[in-house]
Structure 1
Amino acid sequence: MISNTERTVKTGGDPRHLAEFSALRDEIGKLHHPARPDVDWGRVEQLCLALFRQNGVELQTTVDFTLARTHIAGLAGLCEGLELLAGLLSHQWSTLWPPQTHARVALLAWLSDRLQQVWRTMALCYGDLAMVYRAERALEQLCTQLQTLE
């Protein structure tokens, strides 16, 4: 579980040489497996956190973390992930891994597709409105940042 406090994060480099990254890719790969085995979202979250500690924060792992937190904590997890992404893109774009713009766009598009699928399954109520607005603000920040980079 992530606490609701501000944290300083270091930007990470290429994580592909780390065992946790391979394990993370295997777990996320279940989303595309023909047999559709269940993804262990708790394991995905723990692998992401381990990679953040070992390697720093980079886009691929942050995308996976955002999806995991959304599956685990619903709207609150979605907000956590989107806010982390917004901060990463607005402050670290020039040094972010992966360095190729097309790879970054592909990761964000993949996340968008996955989050839309999860969003459609959420049963929301009036009490969720503040969290919906929080997610909207993070998405607006992401959109604004991406538009300035075009």
Structure 2
Amino acid sequence: MTNTQHTIRSLSTLVDMRSNEVDRLQSEMAAKESVRERYKKTLDKLTDLYQSSGPSGRLPMALAMNCGDYKQGVMAMADSQRLNLHMHEADMAVSQRALTAAYVKREVLGQVLERHQDAAATAQRAQERKRHDELATQLWYRGHK
């Protein structure tokens, strides 16, 4: 195996590894997007719950306190969900940067691999032309003897 073939094979392996990394990170991002959507739906439901419970001021004292406690509890859960959502979105931003970096690395290695493959193909075509020229020269000499 020539040095060029070895280099191409090594670069091809690296490109495959980077592609696998990109695929893995894309899967992780898809899973995180799903979690983000669940957070948003839960937050919407919690907001709906405390808004739809109605005004508590018109109720008798015990019911008004119970309704107020309920609203405060649901609002606290909504705040907790909102905080979790923000933290999750920050984590997603970090993951997105890692995905972008992995994608760029894969693309750069792919371009290097392509250049090496093109150079090897050009060298091989030149070698074949040289061999054909040598054969043609030999035939020409034989024909003129």
TM-score range, shorter chain: under 0.3
Higher radius of gyration, 1 or 2: 2
- TM-score using structure 1 length: 0.24
RCO (CA 8 Å, sep 6+): is it higher in 1 or 2? 2
TM-score, length basis structure 2: 0.25
